[in-house]
Amino acid sequence: MELGPSQIAGPDGVERDADLWQRCATGDGEAFGLLFDRHRERVFRHACRLAASRQDAEDLVATAFLELWRLRDRVRMVDGSVLPWLLATTTNLGLNARRARRRYQRLLERLPRAGSQPDAASVALEAHGLGIDGRLRAGLQSLQLRDAQLLVLVALEGYSVVEAAACLQMSEPAARARLHRARSRLGEQLSGEAIPQRLAGQEDVR
């Protein structure tokens, strides 16, 4: 696939999410397209953790970006980036899949898919060391949604507790307490199985 210049996120000179977001507000669709180019791969990798198939993961990505625009008045940036919001929303959509995504079902059915590629879910789960398909999803589903979103951002996506708390609009102490609870519960849920260290480990001190 041919990639746009903004696919390479981060280097100097690349327009920040916050700037692109402002352009979106004026009806600049291409700015939204650039946000999609920039974050779709990371959102897709996360979606693969929660999805049962490649198509399911793709639908999650599409829904997350559609929600980004639909809920634009409520999107909260962290350090000028929409990525944490997208990841938290993807977690929400992945764990509350059917009804939440039904909103866009017909729209998604219209999008063409072509070619055959290896199943994303199994590949991604393996890549993340998460083992059996569905185990992480089941574990996250046993948590309160906010706890699951928090755990994903901190334990799987590498955000600090402070950043994740900002994204989810909660205080840092509350986030730490929730994170501790989430890890404990996940440990109970997955007892007897090998739990990835970053999910079951101690709270992040950042």
Binding-site member from 78, 88, 124, 182 for another protein (CB under 8 A)? 124
DSSP conformation letters of 34-93: HHHHHHHHHHHHHHHHH-SSHHHHHHHHHHHHHHHHHTGGG---BTTBSHHHHHHHHHHH
**Any residues with CB less than 8 A from the CB of 136 and at least 6 apart, and which?**
49, 50, 125, 130, 199
* Separation CA 190–CA 206 (nearest Å): 26
Which residues lie across from 78 on neighbouring strands? 81
Q: Does 12 bind another protein (CB under 8 A)?
A: no
- Tokens describing residue 91: 């977690």
β partners of residue 81: 78
Chain-centroid distance, C-alpha 137: 13
- Told to check if 54 binds another protein by CB under 8 A, we report yes
Among 18, 111, 132, 138, binds another protein (CB under 8 A): 111
CB of 92 to another protein, least distance (A): 9
Does the protein bind another protein through residue 170 (CB under 8 A)? no
The number of CA neighbours under 13 Å toward the Cβ of 66 is 15
Does 56 participate in binding another protein (rule CB under 8 A)? no
Please identify, using beta-carbon distances, which residue of 51 and 152 lies nearer to another protein: 51
Q: How far is the CB of 160 from another protein (least distance, A)?
A: 26
Q: Segment near another protein (CB under 8 A), from 95-103, 155-163, 167-175, 190-198?
A: 95-103
**Residue 150 token pair:** 């928090």
Task: Answer yes or no whether residue 36 interacts with another protein by CB under 8 A.
Answer: yes
Q: Provide the minimum distance between the beta carbon of 2 and another protein in the complex, in angstroms, as a whole number.
A: 9
CB of 69 to another protein, least distance (A): 6
Chain contacts with another protein (rule: CB under 8 A): 1, 24-33, 36-37, 40-41, 44-45, 48, 54, 57-58, 61-62, 65-66, 69-71, 73, 98-100, 102-103, 105-107, 109-115, 117-118, 120, 123-124, 127
